[in-house]
């Protein structure tokens, strides 16, 4: 297994057909990790009304909320501070996992209103989200067959190596709590800690309507 990091600068190092195949596989992984797929619901399901049994499935396995279109991913790669890291099996040209990282500044309007729940003060938090060398993990996924094999931590370690100033990540807290993802990031191995949470109003994303949500933000920094 090896990691390939696609950025605006490295795109020319790979054949367009190779990149296209990686992105297609990313979208397949994304689809299998969507909360609607896990519950065998239509992708355009409105809201998060689930049974207690369905809630337990999502909370214990982790889930993604929204999918990204091919065009959107291509547009992301045109941004200077965006990167997509793939876990690739070279002999098979198969993708086992991915992480999409962007500048925190991309979400500055949201992150500025973060309700801090840590020792950080507002000035320290502003310094973090304005640091051009820190990245926000917008989305991350490992294929179902390879989950709990250490590949997730392998991917996080690659992210830390590339962006040693710090990493941020978010996971839903309400109305569905992504307990599995929070446990993964804040485990001793991965070393993230909770910094706070933000609220989002109802919105339309990728053609789907979502109710108001609350998201927990975690942080990893080399200086703790």
pLDDT digits (tens, 9 = 90+) for 44-100: 787 788 999 999 999 999 999 888 888 888 888 888 899 999 999 877 789 999 999
Of the candidates 22, 35, 24, which has an alpha carbon nearest to the alpha carbon of residue 171? 35
Q: Dump pLDDT digits (tens) for 135-194.
A: 999 999 999 887 788 999 999 999 999 999 999 999 999 999 999 999 999 999 999 999
Question: Residue 1's pLDDT is what?
Answer: 83
Q: Which residue has the higher pLDDT, 150 or 43?
A: 150
Q: Which two tokens stand for residue 114?
A: 């973060």
Average pLDDT over all residues of the chain:
90
**pLDDT attached to residue 82:** 94
> Residue 203: is its pLDDT beyond 80?
no
- pLDDT per residue as tens digits for the range 87-126: 998 777 899 999 999 999 999 989 999 999 888 899 999 9
Place of tokens 């200086």: 223
Instruction: Give the pTM.
Output: 0.92
pLDDT of residue 202: 61
Q: Of the candidates 76, 48, 52, 75, which has an alpha carbon nearest to the alpha carbon of residue 63?
A: 48
Task: Pull the structure tokens for residue 210.
Answer: 């979502």
- CATH number of the structural domain 2-220: 3.40.630.30
The whole-number pLDDT of residue 103 equals 95
pLDDT of residue 222: 67
SS3 per residue for the chain? CEEEEEECCCHHHCCHHHHHHHHHHHHHHHHHHEHHHHCCCCCCCCCCCCCHHHHHHHHHHCCECCCCCHHHHHHHHCCCCCEEEEEEECCCCEEEEEEEEECHHHHHHHHCCCEECCCCCHHHHHHHHCCCCCEEEEEEEECHHHCCCCHHHHHHHHHHHHCCCCEEEEEEEECCCCHHHHHHHCCCCCCCEEEEEEEECCEEECCEEECCEEEEEEEECCCC
Q: What's the confidence (pLDDT) of residue 205?
A: 57
Is the confidence at residue 206, as pLDDT, over 80?
A: no
Q: What are the structural domain ranges in the chain?
A: 2-220
CA 172 to chain centre: 11
What is the band of 204 on the pLDDT scale with cuts at 50, 70, 90?
low
Cβ distance 138 to 18 under 8 Å? no
Share of the chain above pLDDT 70, in %: 95
């Amino acid at each position: 297994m090896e990691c390939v990091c696609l950025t605006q600068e490295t795109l020319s190092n790979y054949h367009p057909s190779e990149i296209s195949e990686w992105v297609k596989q990313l979208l397949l992984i994304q689809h299998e990790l969507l909360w609607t797929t896990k519950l065998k619901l239509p992708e355009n399901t409105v809201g998060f009304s689930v049974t207690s049994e369905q809630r337990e499935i999502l909370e214990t396995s982790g889930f993604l909320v929204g999918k990204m279109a091919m065009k959107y991913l291509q547009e992301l790669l045109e941004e200077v501070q965006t990167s997509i890291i793939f876990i690739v099996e070279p002999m098979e040209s198969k993708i086992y996992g991915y992480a999409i990282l962007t500048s925190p500044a991309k979400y500055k309007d949201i992150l500025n209103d973060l309700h801090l729940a840590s020792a950080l003060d507002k000035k320290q938090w502003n310094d973090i989200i304005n640091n051009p060398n820190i990245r926000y993990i917008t989305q991350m996924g490992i294929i179902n067959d390879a989950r709990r094999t250490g590949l997730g931590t392998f991917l996080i370690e690659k992210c830390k190596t590339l962006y040693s100033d710090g990493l941020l990540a978010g996971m839903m807290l309400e109305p569905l709590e992504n307990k599995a993802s929070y446990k993964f990031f804040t485990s001793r191995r991965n070393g993230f800690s909770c910094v706070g949470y933000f609220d989002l109003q109802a919105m339309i994303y990728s053609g789907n309507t979502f109710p108001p949500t609350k998201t927990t933000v975690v942080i990893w920094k080399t200086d703790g």
